[in-house]
Structure 1
Amino acid sequence: MSAVGQQSRSRFETPAIGYGLLLALGLCWGVNWPAMKLAVEVLPVWHFRAACLTFGALTTLFLARVYGARLRVPRKEILPLIICACFNMVGWQLLTAYGLTLMDAGRASIIAFTMPLWASLLSILLLNERLTATRVAGLALGLSGLAALLMPEMRAILAAPYGVLAILSAAMSWALGTVLTKRFSWSVSAATLSGWQLLTAALVVSVGALTWQSDAAWAESWSTGQLIGVIYAITIAIAFGHWAWFQIVRIFPAPVAAIGTMLVPLVGVFSGGLLLGEHIGPAELLALVLVISGLFCVLVLPGLRRERGLPKN
């Protein structure tokens, strides 16, 4: 098995399960972008993220225990876990939340999911992986789709440079965390690994909330949409989403896992239009075709080639 774990692959770590998780994760995290936008309108960033991470950690570790996973992390894996948590969780969670206070959810999701580009590049340096022709094609199509969404909004994005910087930094942080998760060896399950990273980040962010936002006030009145957004972001998106992501990272190479998540910004853009009234036009439709084509190259085409006895390329 890959460097993520030395355990034998279980029936829950097959490509078929991985494809299903990629689809579910795309929908779950895509809808989470407008949900987070609503949440940061009524909650201070550090408080919001502390709540997300704490609930996610407790839920994930509870489920891991229920399904028989070992919760104890060997001493030699603690430092790598903390390092990965800082990039996968702390950097991503805080920077995306701050970015959403400065720009629209759809635009933020577009910038955040330049992450596959950084993950693919970092995997070459840190994992000695090579980009096959199908992965290069998938990455090119996916990034072209993101560019199709990004270019028409360039003026609006440049008007909020700090938001762009925060979201782009979040993408790089998550990319590095993903590749490092693949680089280190783990003896624990995906759920245990996810839960302890969430809990580590929860402790860091909670200390930050007490230190830098101890006097910050919550909004006095919340709309129904804001309440639903807070509940969704703190519960479903964080608990299921991070467990699914670590399971996907176990199943697929880092570039494949990263490229697969390009579904998220599409769902983010369209759900932002539906739930928040953000603009959807020809650029969004073009991006949909390009990204789906990229996903086909990465997730479907290699399997078809194997069935026909052709090289994966």
Structure 2
Amino acid sequence: MSLPTSSFERLPRQGLLLLAALALGWGFNWPVMKVVLSEVPPLYFRGSCLLLGGLGILAIARAGGGSIRVPRSRWGRLALVTLTNIVGWNVLAIYGVGLLPSGRAALLGYTMPLWSVLLSVWLLGERLTAGRIVALLLGLAGVGVLMGDSLEGMLRAPVGVACMVGAAWSWALGVVLLKRLPVGLSTTALTGWMMVLGGLPMLAVALPLETSRLAWPSFWPAFGVSYNVFVAFMFCYWAWNRIVLMVPVAVSSLSSLVTPLIGVLGGALILGEQPGWREGVAALLILAAVGAVSLKRS
């Protein structure tokens, strides 16, 4: 049985708890990815995590008695949402984070709400209310403050910037297509199939391109791979799809802006990047934006 879409205009309590866990899980994964990429080729890293995580989610769905069978008429839809949400986002993001500081790559990736809000008005007919416009401006202002004087450094790595902006656009389109083209599966089965179908072509391309660079990683990169499989993929992708199907695109997309803030803080804790006053100002702006679209009015 598939989850009804747009059941709420704002995130209910369950959605807020999922959002908090998602922000921590994905936010800390940005510096973790940087550690993994120091020893593991990008396509092998992302493809193997997707495949293992997807098979794990499908096994959980099956063990729980749920159906994982995809209706024959819905395979095309499943392929399209996988191409945008999984393949486009993961391939471009993993190359982008390899070319840019992890926290700054996260910031560029999370310009996604700008594109998704605009696409949702065009493709879904969602209302662009004054509150959502204010929230969008607050959120993007927070991202801009975090970028700060690092913008000049980003421009010295134009390929990395192009990868992350392309990743953000692909993810935004994918979020809208999840609402526009329902596949008719439970959130768990949908997430599992998207990950499996996204991981297989990445591994197929990795075989000729990256096998010569493949070696058994040391402890921390291996730990990062495990973190990606179980936390960043199995849990966080399920939680994200749940939130996307629960509320309008503008609400879910703007709520995701908490994640790059955690990503910058994670970079400070794990990689030694030093936060300053910008992080404090950005935190206030981003939390105000998330509160504006996520919290229920009394």
User: What TM-score do you get using the length of structure 2 for normalisation?
Assistant: 0.94
SS at match of 1:211: helix
SS at match of 2:16: helix
Q: Which residue of 2 aligns with 1:41?
A: 38
The structure 2 residue matched to 1:286, chosen from 274, 281, 286, is 281
What is the letter of the counterpart of residue 170 of structure 2? Answer: S
In structure 1, distance between residues paired with 2:252 and 2:6: 19
Q: Which residue of 2 aligns with 1:274?
A: 269
- Please identify, of 65-74 and 36-45, the stretch whose mean Cα deviation from structure 2 is larger: 65-74
- Structure 1 segments unaligned to the other structure (5+ residues): 308-313
Q: Which residue of 2 aligns with 1:245?
A: 240
Q: Which residue of 2 aligns with 1:117?
A: 114
Q: Which residue of 2 aligns with 1:107?
A: 104
Give the direction of change, closer, same or farther, for the CA distance of 1:140–1:186 in structure 2 (3 Å limit). Answer: same
Give the direction of change, closer, same or farther, for the CA distance of 1:187–1:7 in structure 2 (3 Å limit). Answer: farther
SS at match of 1:249: helix
Question: In percent, how many aligned pairs have the same letter?
Answer: 38
1:71 and 2:39 correspond:
no
- Please identify, of 253-262 and 226-235, the stretch whose mean Cα deviation from structure 2 is larger: 226-235
| Kept in 2: contact 1:109–1:265 (CA 8 A) | yes
Q: Which residue of 1 aligns with 2:77?
A: 80
Q: Which residue of 2 aligns with 1:137?
A: 134
In structure 1, distance between residues paired with 2:237 and 2:214: 28
What is the letter of the counterpart of residue 50 of structure 1? Answer: G
In structure 1, distance between residues paired with 2:15 and 2:5: 17
Q: Which residue of 1 aligns with 2:161?
A: 164
Deviation, 1:101, is: 1.3
SS at match of 2:212: coil
Give the direction of change, closer, same or farther, for the CA distance of 1:21–1:7 in structure 2 (3 Å limit). Answer: closer
SS at match of 1:147: helix
| Kept in 2: contact 1:34–1:229 (CA 8 A) | no
- Please identify, of 260-269 and 198-207, the stretch whose mean Cα deviation from structure 2 is larger: 198-207
What is the letter of the counterpart of residue 86 of structure 2? Answer: M
| Kept in 1: contact 2:36–2:220 (CA 8 A) | no
1:226 and 2:221 correspond:
yes
1:191 and 2:195 correspond:
no
Give the direction of change, closer, same or farther, for the CA distance of 1:6–1:245 in structure 2 (3 Å limit). Answer: closer
SS at match of 1:215: helix
The superposition leaves residues 25-79 of structure 1 with CA deviations (integer Å, 9 ceiling, x where unpaired) of 0111001101111111110011101111011101111121223321001111110
Give the direction of change, closer, same or farther, for the CA distance of 1:6–1:147 in structure 2 (3 Å limit). Answer: closer
Give the direction of change, closer, same or farther, for the CA distance of 1:214–1:17 in structure 2 (3 Å limit). Answer: same
Q: Which residue of 2 aligns with 1:310?
A: none
Deviation, 1:172, is: 0.6
- Structure 2 segments unaligned to the other structure (5+ residues): none
The superposition leaves residues 278-297 of structure 1 with CA deviations (integer Å, 9 ceiling, x where unpaired) of 13111111100100111111
The structure 1 residue matched to 2:57, chosen from 27, 52, 60, is 60
- Please identify, of 225-234 and 265-274, the stretch whose mean Cα deviation from structure 2 is larger: 225-234
Q: Which residue of 2 aligns with 1:23?
A: 20
User: What TM-score do you get using the length of structure 1 for normalisation?
Assistant: 0.90
| Kept in 2: contact 1:142–1:291 (CA 8 A) | yes
In structure 1, distance between residues paired with 2:272 and 2:15: 32
